[in-house]
Amino acid sequence: MTRAVRSPIGLISPLRYSRLSRLACFQRTPSQVCTFSTTPTYRFKSTLLKFDQKKNDSNTTSSKNKKPNDKNGANGANGDPNNPFGNLKWKDWVIPSILMVIVLNGFAASGIDNGAQMTFQDFKTNYLEKGLVKKVNVINGTYVQAELLSGMPRFAGFSIGSPDFFDNEMDAVQDRLGIPTNERIPIAYETRTSVWSYLIPFLPTVILIGGTYYLIAQMRKKGPNSKGGPFDSIMNVGKSKAKLFNQDTNIKVKFKDVAGCDEAKEEVMEFVSFLKNPQKYERLGAKIPRGAILSGPPGTGKTLLARATAGEAAVPFLSVSGSEFVEMFVGVGASRVRDLFATARKLAPSIVFIDEIDAIGGAREKSPMRANDEKEATLNQLLVEMDGFDSSDHVVVLAGTNRPDMLDKALLRPGRFDRHIYLDKPDIEGRKAIYKVHLRPIKMKDAVTDMFAGRLAAMTPGFSGADIANCCNEAALIAARHSADFVELKDFEQAIERVIVGLERKTRILSPQEKKTVAYHEAGHAICGWYLKYADPLLKVSIIPRGQAALGYAQYLPADQYLISEEQFEHRMIMALGGRVSEELNFDDVTTGAADDLQKVTKMANAMVLKLGMSKKLGTIVFEPKDTQMQVHKPFSEETFEVIDIEIHRLIDDAYHKCKKLLTEKLDEVDKIAKELLKKEVITRDDMIRILGPRPFEEKNDAFKKYLLPKNEDGGENPHSDSGEPAPAS
Ligand SMILES: Nc1ncnc2c1ncn2[C@@H]1O[C@H](COP(=O)(O)OP(=O)(O)OP(=O)(O)O)[C@@H](O)[C@H]1O
Ligand SMILES: [Zn+2]
């Protein structure tokens, strides 16, 4: 039984082998204990080697063994798609794992001080037979700890198969050495239990109770700013998803950050004044306005203005999108509305902002087929909540929409959203002011002058506040890409072009013939624009492909204008046809390049005839049905329909012939511009003047004249004044 087995790393008795392997197993996680790899012996050997070589080192060994196991554990939790706890955060499994490891370590240690490790055989020959042993302790009937005489290691330890066998062996050795019975080494028997052995039976219960407590805590998490834990969506389906912005922390927006919409600001100012000082109004018996609809095209600052209102009034701001009320289940939307208003009342004075209110506030179905009960229930709840305010509630409701015409009339009734504030796209002065706001954080070389902001504003007619914000950011990105220290005008010019027509696509290679077609097409547009009185000022023409579809483009600067005359319409149509006509005049064949132009022309002619009363034959009648979807019959006779057809054709044909006449006269100029384009790819207004001479009409865009036109090209010095030679095409 004590016969030693020779192994490559030393002598190991079978007895000790089994004991140590059990110890090693305790220090591993269950998954590895059960694993049979192709090199199991190697693992045991290395563990044993460490036991042999290092004294009192069991902890280090176990920690070394633990590392790869922990890693396995982590992979198990995160990497396995079937793992139901795959979504839990690291905290959720790290803490239990650490507890587990502590428990297992404690269990493994079991309170035994191992001392110098050896086999019984070694103990016998090295200590027992030499009389170096003072006392022997048999622990738990399986392990022996021998106290040695001084000068030796203090303890020696080894495992035994059974206490009886050990007793007999001890007696046998001492008999052999002739030691009298009363001087024999005392053997004590001891039972040691670790505190862990008491605790471990309770462990599953503790884990179970802790886990349940954690899950319930997760479910209870709610409120306007709930983080949305794994159980949130089920428990909080009827809760409002509004985001709460608190004055002290989140809302830094003030009225000074909203530029170019002074009237709108003035209107909402009243709400601010009310929220700050309600007594001033209530004292005189005035009812406080409940809410306002902020409408206008996308990106004109509706959300921004609402936030600024909250910022100025220094009250909590609850922001929610109309679409967040819409759910599959009936009643959820209504419940969310109720919850939103309950929260707002609790936080009062406060502002509720419902963006895209058309998602729930759209006109209710008139048909008996009740298309959308859920939407209606939500809207009704909203109406009820707004009616339910009394003036002491001090809650103001602002709502944003791009389609105020779609809203249910009941919403707009006095006592609900009784103010309607319209935010239009900014005009030149508005854009200038918005540029000044968004240029503030941009690092420029010189201070931003009025002229500089004006120049950018003049270059970007039709831009919304959001476009301007985007443009300023793009300019800074472009400058950063060139590792510049400052952002300059040229960066802004590039950014504007990018926002208008998209990225340059240098990789889109046109064949020489295609390039030529594009050049003559664009030259046709440019020449028409140059010689037509009402054409907008031209900034540049380019034949570098850009964005999704444009192979070439011309950048014009339309003035901010609110009325368009018949003649202006005609000139726009001629300009739009210039590309196609130039192709016809310069090549044997025409291409698809004019598709977009033709669409524009047709749309304009349609509008002139059907909506704007610009056809003498048809007179000042609107033919366009208001609600095209509901229209079954045309609101006019077959004869009128024919006349409409003829008139639309006539308008387009007229424009076409005038365009052809103009370009035939200016064929040389078209040729020159096209050649210049082929040479340089991009030509500017200066190139046009160099090749064609100054434009024969004074520019009509004041912003252009003020901010962009070089001084020597200005008004009076222009050889052709407004009253001079009429436009050749007119
Ligand atoms: N008048 C403005 N002054 C300053 N910045 C503006 C202005 N209008 C818009 N912006 C900028 O555009 C961004 C987007 O505006 P906002 O979200 O308020 O537009 P919106 O009208 O609510 O658009 P949508 O109808 O698409 O919801 C703002 O964060 C701001 O940076
Ligand atoms: Zn074109």
ipTM over 0.85: yes
- Residue type, position 384, single letter: V
Identify the CA nearest to 398 among candidates 270, 226, 256. Answer: 270
CATH class of 512-626+633-717: mainly alpha
Which residues of 373-456 form beta strands (DSSP E)?
395-401, 417-422
Q: Give residue 704 CA to ligand 2 midpoint distance, Å.
A: 23
Low-confidence residues of the chain, pLDDT below 70? 1-97, 99-115, 219-242, 245-251, 328, 363-372, 389-392, 506, 548-549, 625-634, 710-730
Please tell me the distance from the alpha carbon of residue 313 to that of residue 273, in angstroms, as a whole number: 7
Please tell me the distance from the alpha carbon of residue 294 to that of residue 312, in angstroms, as a whole number: 17
Residue 679: predicted pLDDT: 92
CATH class of 428-501: mainly alpha
Please tell me the distance from the alpha carbon of residue 47 to that of residue 642, in angstroms, as a whole number: 99
Cα of first residue to Cα of last residue in the chain, in angstroms, is 121
| Residue nearest atom 26 in ligand 1 by C-alpha distance | 298
Q: Give residue 385 CA to ligand 1 midpoint distance, Å.
A: 28
Which numbered ligand comes closest to the C-alpha of 659?
A: 2
Residue 186: predicted pLDDT: 86
Element (H, E) at 539: strand 538-542
Which numbered ligand comes closest to the C-alpha of 552?
A: 2
The pair of structure tokens assigned to 408 is: 């249910």
297 lines ligand 1 (CB under 6 A): no
Q: Give residue 262 CA to ligand 1 midpoint distance, Å.
A: 15
Residue 569: predicted pLDDT: 93
Sheet of strand 682-684, all strands in order from the earlier edge strand to the far edge: 553-556, 538-542, 682-684
Inter-residue contact 373 to 276 (CB < 8 Å): no
Inter-residue contact 289 to 419 (CB < 8 Å): yes
724 lines ligand 1 (CB under 6 A): no
Q: Is 226 helix (H, G, I), strand (E, B) or coil?
A: coil
303 lines ligand 1 (CB under 6 A): yes
For the chain, what are the domain ranges?
A: 232-422, 428-501, 512-626+633-717
Report the nearest atom of ligand 1 relative to the CA of 306: 18
Element (H, E) at 16: helix 14-26
424 lines ligand 1 (CB under 6 A): no
Selecting among 374, 522, 570, 699, the annotated active-site residue is: 522
The pair of structure tokens assigned to 285 is: 């018996």
Q: Give residue 471 CA to ligand 1 midpoint distance, Å.
A: 13
Report the nearest atom of ligand 1 relative to the CA of 401: 25
Please tell me the distance from the alpha carbon of residue 28 to that of residue 64, in angstroms, as a whole number: 10
Q: Is 410 helix (H, G, I), strand (E, B) or coil?
A: helix
Q: Is 255 helix (H, G, I), strand (E, B) or coil?
A: helix
The pair of structure tokens assigned to 384 is: 């009820």
Which numbered ligand comes closest to the C-alpha of 517?
A: 2
Listed in sequence order, the residues at least 6 apart from 252 whose beta carbon sits closer than 8 Å to its beta carbon are: 311
Please tell me the distance from the alpha carbon of residue 117 to that of residue 54, in angstroms, as a whole number: 9
Helix and strand numbers, DSSP H then E, in the chain: 28, 16
Element (H, E) at 553: strand 553-556
The strand pairing partners of 397, in sequence order, are 291, 352
Please tell me the distance from the alpha carbon of residue 498 to that of residue 504, in angstroms, as a whole number: 8
Residue 208: predicted pLDDT: 92
466 lines ligand 1 (CB under 6 A): yes
302 lines ligand 1 (CB under 6 A): yes
| Residue nearest atom 10 in ligand 1 by C-alpha distance | 465
Task: Tell me if residue 522 is catalytic.
Answer: yes
Q: Phi and psi of 415, rounded to 5°?
A: 95, -15
The pair of structure tokens assigned to 548 is: 């999704």
CATH superfamily name and code, 232-422: P-loop containing nucleotide triphosphate hydrolases (3.40.50.300)
The pair of structure tokens assigned to 336 is: 């969310």
260 lines ligand 1 (CB under 6 A): yes
The pair of structure tokens assigned to 115 is: 């001392």
Burial of 601 (0-12, 13-18, 19+ CB in 10 A): buried
Residue 81: predicted pLDDT: 39
Please tell me the distance from the alpha carbon of residue 240 to that of residue 343, in angstroms, as a whole number: 9
272 lines ligand 1 (CB under 6 A): no
pLDDT in tens, 468-494: 999 999 999 999 998 989 998 899 998
- Residue type, position 440, single letter: R
Q: Which of 266, 304, 353, 442 to mutate to test the pocket of ligand 1 (most atoms within 8 A of CB)?
A: 304
Report the nearest atom of ligand 1 relative to the CA of 307: 18
Q: Give residue 467 CA to ligand 1 midpoint distance, Å.
A: 9
Please tell me the distance from the alpha carbon of residue 13 to that of residue 123, in angstroms, as a whole number: 12
404 lines ligand 1 (CB under 6 A): no
The strand pairing partners of 354, in sequence order, are 320, 399
Which numbered ligand comes closest to the C-alpha of 595?
A: 2
Q: Give residue 522 CA to ligand 2 midpoint distance, Å.
A: 6
Query: Radius of gyration of the chain from Cα atoms?
Result: 44
Identify the CA nearest to 465 among candidates 557, 473, 321. Answer: 473
| Residue nearest atom 25 in ligand 1 by C-alpha distance | 298
| Residue nearest atom 30 in ligand 1 by C-alpha distance | 466
Report the nearest atom of ligand 1 relative to the CA of 304: 18
Please tell me the distance from the alpha carbon of residue 25 to that of residue 66, in angstroms, as a whole number: 11
| Residue nearest atom 11 in ligand 1 by C-alpha distance | 466
Residue 467: predicted pLDDT: 92
Exposure class string for 370-391: b at 16+ Cβ within 10 A, else e? eeeebbbbbbbbbbebbeebee
The packing angle between helices 566-586 and 512-531, to 10°, is 150
Q: Give residue 606 CA to ligand 2 midpoint distance, Å.
A: 19
- Residue type, position 352, single letter: V
157 lines ligand 1 (CB under 6 A): no
Burial of 40 (0-12, 13-18, 19+ CB in 10 A): exposed
Q: Give residue 518 CA to ligand 2 midpoint distance, Å.
A: 9
Inter-residue contact 132 to 149 (CB < 8 Å): yes
Which numbered ligand comes closest to the C-alpha of 577?
A: 2
For residue 14, is the peptide bond before it cis, meaning its omega torsion is within 30 degrees of 0?
no
Residue 616: predicted pLDDT: 85
Please tell me the distance from the alpha carbon of residue 176 to that of residue 179, in angstroms, as a whole number: 8
Residue 44: predicted pLDDT: 29
400 lines ligand 1 (CB under 6 A): yes
Report the nearest atom of ligand 1 relative to the CA of 426: 1
- Residue type, position 2, single letter: T
Q: Give residue 706 CA to ligand 2 midpoint distance, Å.
A: 29
